[in-house]
Structure 1
């Protein structure tokens, strides 16, 4: 049977399509929820780095060390740390939240350090307290750099979720393990295509979100030249 026939047979089943939707929904949950948690952790790390500059180096080193831990090892270790079972999906969420935060900490610190001193000094002179200045001035100016890091983290998470299938929790990753175990290529191909499409859609949504959050970076209509006015 050719691959095309395999795909037709595989996707022709209503039960299979229902399972694909369920796997896709689980994949979105496991990949996207950690982005939210990771951003919150990174924002907190940025606040600490701004409030206490000597901590910036330590935060960057810790983030690099966390990201070097193999994902499968982290999936297995976390249940023993937080008291969950090995098959609990929260293990993947926690692990990917840590990875997301680790990816975002350095860009966050660099972006905040790049905010012009004149801007922060002006905000302070206008009566902005440290917390209000951080969330109202410094953090918004760092959004373009942070958004680029979030896009990388999102694509990375969508890929890493599949590794969770090796411990029984992995969204679309289960299609890969199922296909390899049965030497059946249809679910593998479908899993790859759906993973790529999900990554593309999420990336496009993050680009749109960045544009919404950074209205000052939108191109403005150019004024007409003197020749156009005369014409």
Structure 2
């Protein structure tokens, strides 16, 4: 009798959970399977990418590659993945940067520009970073996004092992995302940790 009551209770719980699914099946289906146009989504992505990464020539005609996909959420995700791949694969070389007027330099600049033992940064490193950041108007050298001085990443155009030093012409200012991409041995794995990925995926979820 106790065993029978247990089965009755389990059966009741199963039925109780199925009934709401049946009643609201249309709403659930519409939420999980979205149809519609991606026109607004594409425009939103274009505004964001052109405004925040102006140096990268994104291809905004990619929507036609996914025109056979009926689920708009899946289509938008595929489009975002395509944009991210374009960002990752954008060809960029670390090259010597513009010099700054000599009157902008400070005492000890030349002496501290030379390679220091154990590759340590010079004592005026913060001043050099700020000077390079001002030279580039606070923009990432690779993608062109606006960055705060505190968030700016620095790479050397010519590595120390190749004779590079700490002179301003050798200092390249980058955003966090671009620095990660340049240093990454596995770009696809790095993609999930990028701010641009987060920003674009939020547009899909929205």
Shorter chain as denominator, the TM-score bin is: under 0.3
If each structure's helix is expressed as a fraction of its own residues, which one has the higher value?
Answer: 1
Tell which structure's C-alpha radius of gyration is larger: 2
TM-score by length of 1: 0.25
